[in-house]
Each structure stands twice: as C-alpha cells, then as structure tokens.
Structure 1
Amino acid sequence: MNAVRRARALLREALVSALAQPVGSVLGFVMVAGMCAAVLLTSGRTVAAEQQVVASIDSAGTRAIVVRAEPDAGLDVSVLDRLAHIDGIEWAGAFGLSEDARNTAFPDGAPVALRRAWSDDWAGLGLPAQPGVALGEAAYASDAALAQLGMAEAAGGIAVRGGTAYAIAGRIGTPEHLAFLEPLVIAPQSGAERAAPVGALVVIATRPELVAPVTDTVRTLLDVTDPDTVEIRSSEALATLRGLVGGQLGAHGRALTLGILGGSALLVAVLLFGMVTLRRKDFGRRRALGASQRLIVALVTTQTAITATAGAAVGSAVAAAVLWLSGDPVPEFAYLIGVDVLGVLVATLAALLPALSAARREPIAELRVP
C-alpha cells in the first residue's frame, strides 16, 4: 500500500509540474506528436502498403500447387492419405475426371464439366464444413456453370452420361485456387472410394515460402505410373517475389524510423536539459528538504512520460486521419500502438540524462544561484 501511495503521489506531482510549466510541456508534447506522426506518414505508410502487397501474395491462390493428371496416369484419391500428415500443407483436395453434365430439364442443353471431389475439409472448396446433404448425391455449381446449364437459381437436377443424377444443392463461390476449373460443378464424395481416378489435385501451402518444398514433396508422393502424364504448376515465383518485397520495404521502413526516432530523442534531450537548467532552484529546494536523487530522476522522467503519452496519442491519431482522408493505406492498429509505445519510451529514455544531471546538483550551490 505504501508503494501504491508513493506512486500516486509521484504521478500527481509530475502532473502538477507539467501543468506548471506550460511552455516546456507544450514543446515536449509537440515534439513527440510530430515524431509519431512523421513515423506513421513515412515508414507507416510504407508498412501499410507492404501489408497490402504481402496479403495479396499470401492469398490461397498464390500458395496453390496444382497437379493435372491424364486419365491413364494412375493418380487416385489415396494420394490424400499420403499428404494428410505432411507439415506445411494447409489444405488438399482431389477432383475426379471431368464428366459432361446436362440440366435434366433440358437434355439437349449445353453440357458442363462435372467433377467429383474428395477432401477432409470442405471449407477449402467454399462449402460448409459439414454439407447438409448426403455426399455423392448432390452437386454445387458456380454462377458461370448455372448460366451455362440454363438455371436461374441453384435448384434443379443434372445428369451425366450413363444416367447418374445429382441434385443441385447450392451455389458455390469459386475459390481463387479453383478458378482453372471454371465453369465449376463439383459433387462432394465420401472418403470410401480411395481408388477412384483423379484428374486434378490441388494443394495449398501454409506459407508462400513453403511452396517450393511442398511442391517437391507432392511430386514424390503422387505414385503415378508415368511422371510424364502429370503436370505440376505452382506459384514459386510469387513466393520469391513476396520475400523480396517484404525485405526491401521492411529495411527501408526500419532505417527511416530509426532516423526519425534518433533525431527526436536528441531534440527531447536538449529541451529537457534547458528545462532542468531553468528549474535548478526548484530541484535545489527539493534536495534541501530531503528529496533523494532517485526521486528527482523519477519526477523528471515521469513528467516527460506523461507529456509524451499525450503527444504520441494525438500525433498518431492525426497521422492516421491524414492517411485515411488521402486514400493511403493505414497501418494496422497494433502498428499504431507500437509506434506510440516506442515514441514514449524514446522520450522517457532521452529524459534520463537531464534527470541525472538535475539529481546530482548540490542543493547548497543551487540555492546560492541568484
């Protein structure tokens, strides 16, 4: 309890001292606000742009590894079992050989390629995690497929050559990594048919930098009769581009941030040295009345921290508003908070030397100064 009371008394005294010196407090406020605003308007804008670019590169479509197999390749659904426990794979799905499907209401209508699909996670196909219809009896179609089938709504039936019929259970928004299958009609299947032939295999790596090693792993686990009958495509080039973009923008932003923080810290230190000199009689009286050197250091740094906190909050808010109004990307909230915390820490650390200088002054010598 004594420690809490002392902390409250120190905070109250620091706040009173800050209000009693409006000129110094306003200057410190403006410096820290300008520091945080400068960081956000320069490196912050760069970081936000980097986040947008990297987010687009990190999308599932750019982490996709697509295997196209000919009918006689020997690739079957059992490949999913071999991929199930491989690290670095976020999702995998297998698609059967395409079959011409027609709207049962228009037997002579335009056919659309239907593919049976197998996966342990239907969400990767844009479907509910647990489809509400029996697997193997229903199909889902994209907008392009429904238009080609002559269906205004995702309702009705389709049939493939041989008589197998499927009910259209819903509309599917084609994921980016399945765009190559458009117009898309898929019929989810149960996992029992592990020997069913596969015409396309799609694997999503967890991170862009894992695309290359995952591609090599997938190639070794295909277990096909003739490697020339399969084609593997991946976005390894985009993964490399992601690393270059992130590295170059990140290095530029860090250098710029360090320069701004270093210059601002120097200005804050110079300002506080001047304020300490003007208050030398005040510190001398405090020391003569029994204040310890530690108390003087704590008082100066706490006063600086209070002013810096207010300045950082206002500076970041103004900078974020300017970026938003100008249409520029705004950094994430965590980055804004990080800049504020860093700004307060830099200002407080810059106050240490002036605080130590004030604490080491001799009370008698200071009280004799006219």
Structure 2
Amino acid sequence: MTGQLIREAFASARSGPVASIVTIIMVTGMILAVMLTTGRTVGAEQNVLGSIDSAGTRSIVIRAEDSAGVTADALNRMAGIEGIEWAGAFSSAIDSTNGINPDGTRVPVRFAYGTNLARLDINTPSPLPGELAYASQTALDQLGLIDIAGSITLTTGSNYAVAGRINVPDFLTGFEPLALVPQPNATGTEPINVIVVIAERPDLVAPVSAAVLSVLAADDPTKITVQTSAALAELRALIEGQLGSFSRGLVLALLGLTGALVAILLYGLVMMRRKDFGRRRALGATRSYIVTLLLAQTALLATAGIAIGTIGSVIALLALGDPLPGLAFTAALAILTLVTALIAALVPALVASRREPIRELRVP
C-alpha cells in the first residue's frame, strides 16, 4: 500500500509539472536563503564560540603566597567538585641550569602535583617517581638541551634527569619557560603556590572558582588571589544570545513565508484538479487517502527542493570560503522545512478530501 501510494503521488506530481517545479523552486530558494544567511551566521558563531570555549578561556588560576599555608592535599578535596575538567598544583619556582653548565641560562622549575599530568605529555606512571624533570621546548632551548638529553641542577643543589618535552597547553603559556618535576608520591603536606583549574564549560567558571576556594583550607585567605575568565564567559553568553535570537527570527520568517506560498500554490492546484479528486472519491477513495496522497506528493517535492538547496548552499559556502553551519543545523533545517511544507499542505488536502463526488463530476 505504501509503495502504491508513493508511485501515485509521484505520478500526480508529474501530471502537474508547473506546480511541482514551482514548489521545488520555492523550497530550494528557502533552503538557499537560510543557509547563506543564518547558516553562514551560525557557522561564524560556532567558530567564535569554539575559540571562546578553548581551555585557556575556562581556566582558573589561584596563586597563594608562601605564608598562605595551601598544601598539595587541596587537590584531593577538589576531586569532589563537579564541573572540573582538569586540575594541577605547582610549587613556587626554583631556578635551575643545565647540569653540565652551571653558568648557563637559568630556567624556573616547579614541582608539579596532580593525577592527570599525562595531558602535558608527562609519562604516567613515572619510571622514577619524583626524580625526573620535563620541560617545554622554550625551556629546553634556554637550557641548551635541544635533544632532550641531559639533566638540570636546581639552586638548592638537587639534580634531575630531563625525561621528556612538555606539551604546553594554552592555559599554561603564561608560565613559559615551563619546567616541571612531577611528584606522584606526594604526601599532601607539600606547600603549593599555584593551582590551575579548567572548568568543563565557560558558564561554570564562576561557581567552580567559588567551590575551589572553599576547599583550599588556607591558613591566611588574604594571601590568595584568583584570576578567572569569567568576563569571557559572560561575553560568550552575550554573543550566543544575540546571534541565536537573530538566527531564529530569520529562520521563522522564511519558514512562515515558504509555508504560506506552498499552501496557496497547493490550494490553487486542488481547485484546478477538483474533478480529478471527485473521480477518485466516486471510485471509492476515502477522504484520508486523498489527504495522504497530497501530503505524500508535497513530501516528495519538498524533499527534492531540500536536497537541491542543501547541496547548492554547501557548494556556495565552500566557494566563498565561509564556515559551514554544521550537520546538526543542516539536518534541523531540512526537517523544519519538510514539516512546514506538510503543515502548509494539510489545509488544501483537507479541502480536496471534502469535495463531493457528484457535485464535482457535474461541473462542466
């Protein structure tokens, strides 16, 4: 039954080529208009928000003076806070030099605490816990350890073999040149001077910052300063709200216009083919069948227009070098367009289904 209905809907669409072509053109034009305006805006919005959502804009940097009394066990208390993507703690900086060149350039070294240091390309578990150092490319260049072979000597006299290069994420670029000595077996009593926390989302920066401060257990909270990207989180919300409002308004307007045009076109088609629908009713076609037939015909034409419009708009955006709006937006637009066309066709379909066979067949 379904296959027969589709075949009949296709034949009905072919029997009225002008109306069918106009319907396809209207749907195609609607898709092109939305994709080349709102779609382009959404693509640009996604690029902007993607930049704002980078880890560097979700970072919370807490600095504690030596007298603040913050220790490494703060990380254990922070483990119960929801909304934290990554956290690490660092000691105060200690100068170091190349192990074989004590008069060389000095590079600050920090002891690092945390369970997810692998994000920095630090080997975990460490083959020699607490005895290996890792450095960024900038630090290695200044130390003269370009081949990552050698050791560093701290001004305290401690010596550490350099085991690898650190992949410095954007939220740690402010600490360059960066050299770290991981402390996987820390007791929790070690003093720390810097805690870096990355929130899962920009809107969580403020609440996560407050929660982290509440579990630091500092001896002197006045010796603690917090640097967050809360302003960027607010900017993100503002950008998303303004662009989203504009995009929704334009899409709704175009959908409404397209729906109205489809309804008018199909109503005219029904009036021109009323004798045909009268014959169908006289031959036993039910009202529901007539409605379903017209909706199926509309769905076929709308699908063709959606496909042509989507392919054409993607080609145009790529040719213009504009960002694509993404699969989710494109699929949502296609579904909304199809639903709009079907809703617009519903009234003409109901009108066609209520034509009286005898009355229509008497029309000359």
Classify the TM-score, shorter chain: over 0.9
Distance (Å, rounded) in 1 between the aligned partners of 2:254 and 2:96 = 64
Q: Residue 85 of structure 1 aligns with which residue? A: 80
Q: Return the offset for 1:191.
A: 4.1
Kindly provide the amino acid, as one letter, of the partner of residue 307 in structure 1. L
* 1:107-140 superposed Cα distances (whole Å, 9 cap, x missing partner): 2211111111111212443546x35643312222
**Paired residues for 1:70-219 under 5 Å:** 70-127=65-122, 130-131=124-125, 133-219=127-213
Kindly provide the amino acid, as one letter, of the partner of residue 341 in structure 1. I
Distance (Å, rounded) in 2 between the aligned partners of 1:19 and 1:132 = 72
Structure 1 spans left out of the alignment, 5+ residues: 1-5
**Paired residues for 1:1-370 under 5 Å:** 6-127=1-122, 130-131=124-125, 133-370=127-364
* 1:76-99 superposed Cα distances (whole Å, 9 cap, x missing partner): 101101111011222111011211
Q: Return the offset for 1:253.
A: 0.7
Q: Return the offset for 1:161.
A: 2.4
- Is contact 1:133–1:169 with CA below 8 Å preserved after alignment? no
Identity %: 50
Q: How many residues align?
A: 364
- Is contact 1:92–1:204 with CA below 8 Å preserved after alignment? yes
* 1:283-317 superposed Cα distances (whole Å, 9 cap, x missing partner): 11111100000000000000100110111111012
Distance (Å, rounded) in 2 between the aligned partners of 1:157 and 1:23 = 81
TM-score (norm 2): 0.96
RMSD of aligned residue pairs (Cα, Å): 1.5
Kindly provide the amino acid, as one letter, of the partner of residue 107 in structure 1. P
State the 4+ residue runs in structure 1 displaced beyond 6 angstroms. none
> Alignment partner of 1:173: what SS?
coil
Kindly provide the amino acid, as one letter, of the partner of residue 306 in structure 1. L
TM-score (norm 1): 0.94
* 1:252-305 superposed Cα distances (whole Å, 9 cap, x missing partner): 111111000000100111111111122212111111100000000000000100
- Is contact 1:300–1:355 with CA below 8 Å preserved after alignment? yes
139-148 vs 249-258, which deviates more?
139-148
- Is contact 2:113–2:186 with CA below 8 Å preserved after alignment? no
* CA distance 1:272–1:194, change in 2 (3 Å): same
Q: Return the offset for 1:207.
A: 1.4
> Alignment partner of 1:198: what SS?
coil
